[in-house]
Structure 1
């Protein structure tokens, strides 16, 4: 066939010019659609070209009827097939390979796919549903089923989709670049869900390591690293009642008690010698976890990151697929069914979400198109020394929008009730964990990361609009003002902030031998100085029971009895303190061993009464917290708390009132020494009988059962600014909670 053959005036040559052919062979052509596929021949017909390396022969067939219209002739260029046909009509290709025959429509016969509005919103950083736009989308185009791929790589010279379907050959499916968005797209007919794929990208310096899809909705099971084409999410949602009611259930004056867990190590299937045989699937986890959480009385669970991550030892905090649940536990549909089951059972689901940084694995986002695309180019801005990770450049509109869309993806498509945003402090400050000279000031010369601040405010405003009632929780460890204030007031707009100061101070106090606690008395009371400057969650999280910090019970001083008494008193103090509650798995029954992500919790400990007692106490604390308004409905205002005794350092005793909006109080008294105190006088606002609703030293919690026989009567003696008083027996290392009868 003559490459230079002219088909007449205004016609198209059968073969493109030599420069185009060479670019095609080398997989360097920036616009494969200008050569491949159908092109009008100027005479009412069309020239069809297909580049199919290793194909033996190609026939063109009528798309509607299946009749053979004629062959494509092989050219002197291996793999390049061409032909001329008298009519313009939809067609398919019947390709003979050494391994067999394949019939499919021509990917290069389809026009541009993404709408201009999608591309505009993406470039602007404000596409609210990006997970149904970019990535691999199962769909039909012109009545033909297949998969539409779209990926942002503005500095690439060429991008191809590769997978088993084309023997990972980047010459077979090069994509179309949509100017000026930098998005590449291609529809591959007849491809189905379940296919593994990556992108082969030609950067300025050559071909990059194959890249997983940043917008993948599913992935291979690690350690494999390819993305997978996912079917559209199909979950039989039965949680309409929960979704309608959750705005009220998650108000600041509602109880919020969160059980934090790592999905892979809460409970596992074990072999005959007790070693982990495999992790449970979402369905198996739901069967076991949901009844447990209901029994324990928690309102919510919080899952450490379940977005796909290559290294299990990162616990999910180094995710590479911000839109895909980890394949370790099942499919996206399986995860959606798990969330639905939680909601039907009345349990909210919070996800840890990581917009601060990502790992530098070569198949991930790092140098995605040969340039610093998702990360800052300068390592003084873009590299985290602490975690050996890269920092998202949230000042770039497309990256800003990518992370915004990730948050909305979980909240909207998976009905997630809240996101706990990881490492917010590292986002707010350009000098976070950096020495002088190791960071770049902002445009005003300051240390604040203005782009990240704008992102967080925008994120929280958008979530409030797009996912009403959802919680946004900041893990923020500095004194940044207004984290949980509205953006209109100049705040960051979060629903809650983790109270890291309270956590640090209270744990430091409780680890002291009681004989020295008098010298640390203010560490337990200091949190009340700032308790209402933000809406707080009190977090005893996974970070406090790893890396040599000891488990929660093993932090406690004293002998075995004192350790358990201290733990029960500490948890009771926490539940009676203003602020929402978060407790990491295993702490609720006093696991001795530090948490290990490769082993399940030590459930066998529940055969021992002391461990069973701690578990029973946590369940009772949760029920008391949920049932008694004084413990939650004025959590975020000073009117809900009143000190009675905050200065008895000698005896390590604290006492306060919690007030409900209706004016009904609870009396809380804590004795943090192992000395029982008889007839300790405390002022109370009302006369009559005060009933003991909880005693952390009760026998049913495996305590010494020292207390007040269920209640006490007041005396007319005024005390502590109150018109009445009670004389209480304070249990050793114990907390009492009483209410007026």
Structure 2
């Protein structure tokens, strides 16, 4: 179109190629005269509300303008227009407002030091000069034009083009726009392509399969967890119990018609259930927004938004708050290792490889068909660290579990020769990812004291949980994938063959204290043909359940914090299917009830005895009694804290072992406080529960005292030494009181008399009338 009224800048505006719409739109004053110009596609006529001046349409365009005395139009004015459907609208002109983003924040963002970039970018309810609206801002440095589109402008990219700053951040304040508005960004790339993108910093999204962002209203939620947060900041988690119930919200429970439940309903049900089981925390598979259900949330597109599948952001706040007020912590699976290629997401966001690497040898995960973040780019680090802090601060979460850390650390992760690029030193370590993880941990711990950051790291990478000032990555916990794999590989052997594989269990103690480990039986172990935990176990039904109970005793008494995936606590039969709920009907059957009751009791004992958690990460908390009886497939060990200890003995065969002798640290009477073969758990009922276990002065396993115990088949038992009874004070004849030098001899004589009486009343290993 050749229109003499159109300057080159106006021509670019009409063609939706204008890089700086504020150059030609809005109010421009010069020498006492003012020109007001607006671009309103679909408008039939336009006026200025303040003064009633009618704007003239520039022929052949949707541009309207008026020129006159500057005093006749205030700096902030409203536009009235009637559209082609004869509806009248009135709103302030977005193009008469100055830039709203603070220069200092923009400087920090460019330096990669804006740890709260979500307060700078995205869509936020905003007010300027008493006028409410929404401030939009997005980072897209290579775009030639960016517009805000939505229902409010018929998704027309010509209507609301944005202004750009020197660091590639685009912004636009749209006055009078309400919260709840649905929007996206329309971008024009350098090659002329035009496409729509969801907001990378969006806080609320449409329900899938729709993918638009929604302007979140300012939250009115009133938190009630101040006491929890105060205690968390001072909590010594290293020396306290940590037992995690891992949950996928979409398949834990559903409504009667198979519908997804709201966060509030899930919160009420989950809290009651988890409290009854005795877990300290819930870990959620990602609830960050994601378009594809079958990804379980691990292909995230909304890094600042709880998924709309289960309700609003305030519903999720209620969920967390309810957990905290009931003494349950919340951990979120968080995925900075990769992101999907969905057209509306981060992939080639501004027409270039913005968040990812351009070279697929650095920027693409072949196994998952996803893209890898460019951790060396300041703005990308801003994005990811801000996301972590957003969840910890905005939603009061108690920690994040960083997914797929190994894939971030190794440039050759799951790649053949020639498919990866070495680092600048020729190595396979991703130096930029290492720096990112160190900064992530330093910032999160500095900004939110008391939270946990866990690494799902599956290799032998050193110092994952060591402080960054010592050269470590700075994580609090590392998933012990080696322990998990070896334990499951061992237990899957038929018991008759286990004697040849005892080293698979004992090997874990060679490295158990090199990191702060968490012991996981997670969702990854019960999908994709791996079977449920129950059906990993060999043998008939009785042996399967006995093996499952046994392996849980082993996990809860082994050094390290604990994690168990939902359904495993009652012996889910089918492997996990994210499209279906758990098989809750199984709890009608005694064997499944028995597994659940054992998990409850294991959590109770774990939380009740400090020896089981105080020294999870150093040798003070563990000691072998016997790890060499491979022929009988028996392990015996201590968990201890100072002078206190528990004795754990595990029989990995279906052969009962009566009068099995074990060495113990101290003489006295011992009591069985847990037996996975107990009748209460639907076991055989064999064990030591009704027996008094008195030590013998018989050296065994290098210890001067020992016990003869019964090891039930396929079971673990836990023994506690009973405190010595205080002797009854003897009546003393005042005329025959011993003098000072005879007092010690008299005291020893009293002790011998009490011991002799005990021997006469309770011979060793005789059945007693008392119970546990």
Q: Name the TM tier (shorter chain).
A: over 0.9
2:149·2:156 contact (CA, 8 Å) conserved in 1? yes
Residue 702 (structure 1) aligned to one of 679, 682, 689: 682
Q: What is the distance in 2 between the residues matched to 1:505 and 1:75?
A: 76
User: CA-to-partner distance for each residue in 1:141-197, whole Å, 9 max, x for gaps?
Assistant: 121110000000000000000001000000000000011x10000011111111111
Match of residue 505 from structure 2: 524
Residue 676 (structure 1) aligned to one of 630, 646, 656: 656
2:268·2:322 contact (CA, 8 Å) conserved in 1? no
Structure 1 residue 249: Cα displacement: 4.0
1:565·1:733 contact (CA, 8 Å) conserved in 2? yes
Secondary structure of the corresponding residue to residue 82 of structure 1: strand
Residue 69 (structure 1) aligned to one of 38, 52, 59: 52
Q: What is the distance in 1 between the residues matched to 2:533 and 2:355?
A: 38
Larger Rg: 2
Residue 94 (structure 1) aligned to one of 69, 80, 99: 80
Match of residue 421 from structure 1: 402
Match of residue 616 from structure 1: 597
Structure 1 residue 61: Cα displacement: 1.6
1:57 pairs with 2:45: yes
Residue 255 (structure 2) aligned to one of 241, 253, 269: 269
**How many aligned residue pairs are there?**
715
Match of residue 636 from structure 1: 617
Match of residue 29 from structure 2: 40
Residue 135 (structure 1) aligned to one of 113, 122, 131: 122
Secondary structure of the corresponding residue to residue 238 of structure 2: coil
Give 1:277-356 correspondences, 5 Å limit.
278-356=259-337
Secondary structure of the corresponding residue to residue 339 of structure 2: strand
Residue 475 (structure 1) aligned to one of 413, 438, 456: 456
Q: What is the distance in 1 between the residues matched to 2:129 and 2:138?
A: 22
Q: What is the distance in 2 between the residues matched to 1:588 and 1:201?
A: 49
- After TM superposition, the runs of 4+ consecutive aligned structure 1 residues lying more than 6 A away are none
Residue 16 (structure 2) aligned to one of 2, 27, 40: 27
Structure 1 residue 349: Cα displacement: 0.2
Q: What is the distance in 1 between the residues matched to 2:383 and 2:470?
A: 26
Q: What is the distance in 1 between the residues matched to 2:598 and 2:439?
A: 41
Secondary structure of the corresponding residue to residue 284 of structure 1: helix
2:556·2:602 contact (CA, 8 Å) conserved in 1? yes
Residue 196 (structure 2) aligned to one of 195, 210, 233: 210
Give 1:205-604 correspondences, 5 Å limit.
205-249=191-235, 251-271=237-257, 276=258, 278-604=259-585
Structure 1 residue 27: Cα displacement: 0.2
Structure 1 residue 525: Cα displacement: 1.1
1:156·1:370 contact (CA, 8 Å) conserved in 2? yes
User: CA-to-partner distance for each residue in 1:16-65, whole Å, 9 max, x for gaps?
Assistant: x431222111100111100000000322x421000111101111123xxx
Match of residue 153 from structure 2: 166
Match of residue 750 from structure 2: none
User: CA-to-partner distance for each residue in 1:80-109, whole Å, 9 max, x for gaps?
Assistant: 111123215121111111331111000100
Q: What is the distance in 2 between the residues matched to 1:443 and 1:232?
A: 46
Comparing 90-99 and 464-473, the one that deviates more: 90-99
**TM-score w.r.t. structure 1 length?**
0.95
2:513·2:618 contact (CA, 8 Å) conserved in 1? yes
Q: What is the distance in 2 between the residues matched to 1:283 and 1:314?
A: 23
Secondary structure of the corresponding residue to residue 447 of structure 1: coil
Secondary structure of the corresponding residue to residue 196 of structure 2: coil
Secondary structure of the corresponding residue to residue 334 of structure 1: helix
1:148 pairs with 2:148: no
1:197 pairs with 2:197: no
Secondary structure of the corresponding residue to residue 737 of structure 1: strand
Structure 1 residue 639: Cα displacement: 1.1
2:549·2:715 contact (CA, 8 Å) conserved in 1? yes
Q: What is the distance in 2 between the residues matched to 1:376 and 1:556?
A: 44
Match of residue 12 from structure 1: none
Match of residue 9 from structure 1: none
Q: What is the distance in 2 between the residues matched to 1:403 and 1:121?
A: 15
1:250·1:256 contact (CA, 8 Å) conserved in 2? no
User: CA-to-partner distance for each residue in 1:261-299, whole Å, 9 max, x for gaps?
Assistant: 10100011133xxxx2x0111011011110000000000
1:250·1:471 contact (CA, 8 Å) conserved in 2? no
Q: What is the distance in 2 between the residues matched to 1:377 and 1:26?
A: 30
Q: What is the distance in 1 between the residues matched to 2:519 and 2:612?
A: 14
Structure 1 residue 527: Cα displacement: 0.5
Q: What is the distance in 1 between the residues matched to 2:233 and 2:593?
A: 34
Match of residue 716 from structure 1: 697
1:117 pairs with 2:104: yes
Q: What is the distance in 1 between the residues matched to 2:336 and 2:565?
A: 22
Secondary structure of the corresponding residue to residue 299 of structure 2: coil
2:663·2:699 contact (CA, 8 Å) conserved in 1? yes
1:125·1:397 contact (CA, 8 Å) conserved in 2? yes
User: CA-to-partner distance for each residue in 1:354-410, whole Å, 9 max, x for gaps?
Assistant: 001000011111111010000000000001000000000010010011101000000
Q: What is the distance in 2 between the residues matched to 1:248 and 1:735?
A: 35
Secondary structure of the corresponding residue to residue 650 of structure 1: coil
What CA RMSD, in Å, does the superposition of the two structures yield over aligned residues? 1.1
Q: What is the distance in 1 between the residues matched to 2:177 and 2:635?
A: 67
Q: What is the distance in 1 between the residues matched to 2:667 and 2:517?
A: 33
Gaps of 5+ in 1: 5-14, 63-67
Q: What is the distance in 1 between the residues matched to 2:450 and 2:115?
A: 17
2:150·2:183 contact (CA, 8 Å) conserved in 1? yes
Secondary structure of the corresponding residue to residue 270 of structure 1: coil
Q: What is the distance in 2 between the residues matched to 1:208 and 1:520?
A: 61
1:74·1:80 contact (CA, 8 Å) conserved in 2? yes
Structure 1 residue 248: Cα displacement: 4.5
Q: What is the distance in 1 between the residues matched to 2:643 and 2:158?
A: 74
Gaps of 5+ in 2: 723-772
User: CA-to-partner distance for each residue in 1:385-441, whole Å, 9 max, x for gaps?
Assistant: 000000000100100111010000001111110000000000001000000110001
